[in-house]
Amino acid sequence: MAEGEHTLAVFIDFENLALGFRGKRDKRFEIQKVLERLVEKGKLIVKKAYADWADYAEYKKPLHEAAIELIEIPKRAMAGKNSADIRLCVDALDLCYSKEHIDTFVIVSGDSDFSPLVSKLKENGKRVIGLGMKESSSNLLVDNCDEFIYYEDLERPLGIPPKIEQDLPEKKKEAFQLLVDSVLALVRENKEVLWSSMVKETMKRKKPSFNESYYGYRTFSDLLEDAEKEGIIQLRTDTRSGTYVIVGFGKEQKKAEAAGVKESKERKPRKTSKPHWRPRPRRPKPKTPSPTPDSPDVPNVSETESIA
Check whether 296 has a pLDDT greater than 70.
no
State the pLDDT at residue 48.
95
pLDDT tens profile 13-48: 998 887 777 666 657 788 888 998 898 888 999 999
- With residues binned 3-state (H G I as helix, E B as strand, rest as coil), the percentages for the chain, rounded to 5, are 45, 15, 40
pLDDT band at 156 (very low <50, low <70, confident <90, very high): low
Q: What's at 59, amino acid-wise?
A: Y
Mean pLDDT score across all residues of the chain: 79
Exposed/middle/buried for 191, CB within 10 Å: 0-12, 13-18, 19+? middle
Mean pLDDT of 288-305: 52
Query: Using one digit for the tens of pLDDT, what is the confidence trace for 128-153?
Result: 999 998 888 899 999 999 999 988 88
* Phi–psi pair at 202, nearest 5 degrees: -65, -40
Q: Write the pLDDT tens digit of every residue in 255-275.
A: 555 555 555 555 555 555 454
pLDDT band at 282 (very low <50, low <70, confident <90, very high): low
In the chain, what is the greatest distance between 2 CA atoms, to the nearest angstrom? 144
What sign for the dihedral angle of Cα 167, 169, 174, 176? negative
Q: How far apart are CA 15 and CA 139, in angstroms?
A: 19
Q: In what order do the strands lie in the sheet with 7-13?
A: 69-72, 43-51, 7-13, 104-108, 127-132, 147-150
pLDDT (tens digit per residue) in 202-220: 898 888 889 999 988 999 9
Confidence of residue 2 (pLDDT cuts 50, 70, 90): low
Give me the helix-helix angle, 170-188 and 196-206, nearest 10°: 110
* Phi-psi map region of 216: left, alpha, beta (phi>0 left; psi -120 to 50 alpha): left
Least confident of 77-81, 96-100, 111-115: 77-81
Domains and CATH numbers, the chain: 7-155 (3.40.50.1010), 170-254 (1.10.10.10)
- Please report, rounded to a whole number, the percentage of residues in the chain having pLDDT higher than 70: 72
